[in-house]
Structure 1
Amino acid sequence: MTSTVPAVPDILSAEFAADPYTAYQVMREHHPLIWHEATQSYVISRYADVERAFKEAVFTSRNYDWQLEPVHGRTILQMDGREHSTHRNLVAPAFRGRDLMNKFVPVIEENSRVLIEAFRTDGEVDLVGQYATRFPINVIVDMLGLPKEDHGHFHRWYTSIMGFLSNLSGDEQVTAEGLRTKAEFEDYLVPIIRDRRANPGDDLLSTLCNAEIDGVRMSDEEIKAFCSLLLTAGGETTDKAIASVVLNLVANPEQLEAVRADHSLIAAAFAETLRFAPPVHMIMRQPSEDVELSGGVVEAGRTVTCLIGAANRDPAQYADPDRFDIFRPDLDQGRAYTAGANHTAFCLGRHFCVGAMLAKTELEIGIGQLLDAMGDIRFADGAPPPEYGVFTRAPQSLRLTFTPTR
């Protein structure tokens, strides 16, 4: 008896967008290396291959020269070797340890509290529109020490830049809007950067302007590019993660009640969400020489699309991978927010997300405050809403009913 090999899924198809997880299974089992003509890239889906692409030095981030630079400028993600380590060390201290806890935790707490207060007594909320999409962007704007009245501009810029980065089909209008946003953001921020160099304050932008290692400082353009990257990477990961964490917990009431009773489990719920339903499903790399992966050889200079969403549900890596379980023993909670994590949502190795601890802190504070304000949380429509997106993915709306608890 002969078996039929399933057709190769198309990552730009409507079927894939509706249900990528079924396609991921087909890819992992039957098509672990796919040449995708429309995006001019190889697509990989197995955990072992994605892990190699993130950790091994032969896989460079040269793809960001065309993927990110047109809309952000040249960022730390495009740097290698000493240049990368120096610039990472210039920005990293602000996102961990004492600076994060002392300077920015009060900013995070206040922004979350203000948003929750606006709907706390209503008994219903669209958590995406009224909280998740606003919270992390407002935090970043306040961390940078920028005017609160400019929050609206940043939401518009953020949406435009994410549209550019997610534009796998090459829509010319979306591309043009992203390029306009880059120019607007530069015109807005560069004069402020120059002023902060001359008149530093106690904000993140001043810290970036005056950070120095071995006589090296970031240029105005490098600071602007980092802030643009922070706006999108920090906002996108966190806003979609908040919605997905809450969705997954409400869909699993016993786990929701466990987290409600013990807020220290919020970090575990976030880590499992990063594995089960990551905010970003695709990250690209470009090998500097021919590399053999499952299914064949990738030639030097070709783009490799690494499917995070597929790797993080690989049964070769996790038991029962399609089940959400904050207590799963095969997800290393001790390393979940480090470069040694055994999930791929924040990348791995030298380009591990510099803002991972900021995202964790925002989630712990935000989810904790939400659970303190909302009892008996249920889906307003009686069932979890669908997810949307291919490059990034999360519910577009999360309508909940709840009982105000205070």
Structure 2
Amino acid sequence: MPVVDPRFSILSEDFAAAPHRHFARLRDRSPVHYEPAIDAYFLSRYRDVQRVLTDHETFTTETLQVRAEPVMRGPVLAQMTGAEHTAKRKIVVRGFTGPALQDQIRAIHANAAELLAPFLPLGRMDLVNDFGKPFAVRVTLDVLGLDKSDWRQVAAWLDGVGEFVTSVVLTPERRRHCLDCAEQLESYLVPVIEQRRRHPGADLISQLCTAEFDGIAMSTRDVTALVINVLIAAVEPADKTLALLFKHLIDHPRQLAQVRRDPALLPAAIAETLRYTPPVQLIPRQAERDAVFADTVVPAGGTVFCMIGAANRDPDAFAAPDTFDIHRPDLGVARSFTAAAQHLSFGTGLHQCVGAAFARAEIETVAALLLPRLDQVRYSPGFHYRETGLYTRGPAALSLDFSPVREGVAGRG
């Protein structure tokens, strides 16, 4: 039987307020933490998390059949293995790399400039709600070839889908709401998918519709699930990472000044942001056989949550891990957006995030656009910073003041 600590719970409000304050205690005293309310094990040490994410035979993604498939409207990439996974992953990755990525960078820049323009003369902006959230949805709709004017409705549906996937505890009422959102999103996508089958273009949906696996075209259900997979994977981390990047640089003015002087440091600042405060904090797996961690047995069939935030701050993996340092020598910036990344923020192994290259291009492009325009950037008077989320986590808002930009100056660069 697992040992239960009645004095501490990862599901508590205390933990939710500031998870990072508890990471060291978990790694040192309870590296295999059991939560009886949800019958799940939480792993916080880097080596244990890395083991789970790379041992695909012992730790599978079966849990996603319950956690994701009902709202994704079909199997997602993380549920697939073997030839099917390789073929379908390659199709999606191709849509986010090479020539396609260069086209997307232009779309990223155009969307960011358009959204930013009204705020530049004002000298104030909520980087999360005024900019980050609408930007992430609009850019992803561009990539998929969907109508950007629908972004508010799509965002509302995605909120429901994301809530279903990332909630550790979900009431029956919220579950119904999430499923309703998924059904409406599916109804929105299916006519588009069927139209792209008849008249394909250069967008990612068209590529999915015209691709074949084992000589057979993917069904509408298959394509719908992959499109929703892409929407969630591309939208969910982007606004959080952008806001967290600016928060950390504002909190470390010397490093902010260095990035302003030398834009070549921007990838390091993004990589360190991902390590220090990963937007995806938990990755679930299911044990297929008994597994032992720190003298504790996780039984076959048990649900395991990999605590990415805690693993990324493990002193066995990073020196001074609770310090934000864009110059740290143990980060490996060049590989930080690949499967060989030292941090675990994109996962690792077979199911490492397919959108890592796109995420890098997206955040780099937007940050490079924002930094010279948000001169003397600082928190707005009276602003109180707060983060939310257990599974995925980021700022609820980030109200910033900066030197207003005169009309006509904003479009330069």
Partners of 2:133 and 2:239 within 8 A in 1: yes
Q: What corresponds to 1:395 in structure 2? A: 395
Structure 1 residue 263: Cα displacement: 2.0
What secondary structure sits across from 2:402 in the alignment? strand
Q: What corresponds to 1:93 in structure 2? A: 94
Q: What CA distance in whole angstroms lies between the structure 2 residues aligned with 1:118 and 1:159?
A: 26
Q: What corresponds to 2:229 in structure 1? A: 229
Partners of 1:90 and 1:212 within 8 A in 2: no
Matching of residues 1-400 of structure 1 within 5 Å: 9-57=8-56, 58-72=58-72, 73-101=74-102, 103-212=103-212, 215-381=215-381, 385-400=385-400
Runs of 4+ deviating beyond 4 Å: none
Q: What CA distance in whole angstroms lies between the structure 1 residues aligned with 2:260 and 2:389?
A: 29
> Can you give the 5+ residue segments of structure 2 that lack an aligned partner in the other structure?
none
Structure 1 residue 216: Cα displacement: 4.3
Structure 2 length-normalised TM:
0.94
Q: 1:100 to 1:216 in 2, by over 3 A?
A: farther
Partners of 1:251 and 1:384 within 8 A in 2: no
Cα deviation code 1:251-293 (max 9, x no counterpart): 1111111111222222111111111011111110112221122
What secondary structure sits across from 1:283 in the alignment? strand
Structure 1 residue 137: Cα displacement: 0.8
Cα deviation code 1:328-367 (max 9, x no counterpart): 1111112101111111110001100000111110101111
Q: What CA distance in whole angstroms lies between the structure 1 residues aligned with 2:6 and 2:403?
A: 48
Over the residues paired in the alignment, what is the CA RMSD in angstroms? 1.7
Structure 1 residue 316: Cα displacement: 1.3
> Can you give the 5+ residue segments of structure 1 that lack an aligned partner in the other structure?
1-5
Partners of 1:43 and 1:307 within 8 A in 2: yes
Q: 1:99 to 1:213 in 2, by over 3 A?
A: farther
Partners of 2:76 and 2:225 within 8 A in 1: yes
What secondary structure sits across from 1:242 in the alignment? helix
Q: Could you tell me which amino acid in structure 2 is paired with residue 63 of structure 1? A: T
Structure 1 residue 130: Cα displacement: 0.8
Q: 1:319 to 1:22 in 2, by over 3 A?
A: same
380-389 or 349-358, which deviates more: 380-389
Count residues in correspondence: 401
Partners of 1:46 and 1:311 within 8 A in 2: yes
Q: What CA distance in whole angstroms lies between the structure 2 residues aligned with 1:8 and 1:289?
A: 30
Cα deviation code 1:313-339 (max 9, x no counterpart): 111111111111111111111210111
What secondary structure sits across from 1:42 in the alignment? strand
Q: Could you tell me which amino acid in structure 2 is paired with residue 348 of structure 1? A: T
What secondary structure sits across from 1:297 in the alignment? strand
Cα deviation code 1:86-124 (max 9, x no counterpart): 2111211111122211x2111111111111112111111
Q: What CA distance in whole angstroms lies between the structure 1 residues aligned with 2:217 and 2:38?
A: 37
Q: What CA distance in whole angstroms lies between the structure 1 residues aligned with 2:317 and 2:369?
A: 33
Q: Could you tell me which amino acid in structure 1 is paired with residue 19 of structure 2? A: P
Partners of 1:49 and 1:294 within 8 A in 2: no
Q: What CA distance in whole angstroms lies between the structure 2 residues aligned with 1:295 and 1:26?
A: 17
Cα deviation code 1:126-185 (max 9, x no counterpart): 111111111111001111111222111111111111222232122222211110011111
Partners of 1:209 and 1:217 within 8 A in 2: yes
Structure 1 length-normalised TM:
0.95
Q: Could you tell me which amino acid in structure 2 is paired with residue 332 of structure 1? A: G
Q: Could you tell me which amino acid in structure 2 is paired with residue 290 of structure 1? A: D
Partners of 1:75 and 1:229 within 8 A in 2: yes
Q: What CA distance in whole angstroms lies between the structure 2 residues aligned with 1:174 and 1:125?
A: 31
Q: Could you tell me which amino acid in structure 1 is paired with residue 235 of structure 2? A: G
Partners of 2:383 and 2:399 within 8 A in 1: no
Q: What corresponds to 1:3 in structure 2? A: none
What secondary structure sits across from 1:286 in the alignment? strand
What secondary structure sits across from 1:240 in the alignment? helix
Q: Could you tell me which amino acid in structure 2 is paired with residue 169 of structure 1? A: V
Q: What CA distance in whole angstroms lies between the structure 1 residues aligned with 2:211 and 2:186?
A: 20
Cα deviation code 1:173-231 (max 9, x no counterpart): 22111100111111111111011011011212112211235524322111111111222
Q: 1:24 to 1:9 in 2, by over 3 A?
A: farther
Q: What CA distance in whole angstroms lies between the structure 2 residues aligned with 1:381 and 1:81?
A: 54
What secondary structure sits across from 1:134 in the alignment? helix
Partners of 2:387 and 2:395 within 8 A in 1: yes
Partners of 1:44 and 1:307 within 8 A in 2: yes
Q: Could you tell me which amino acid in structure 1 is paired with residue 328 of structure 2? A: R
Structure 1 residue 295: Cα displacement: 3.8
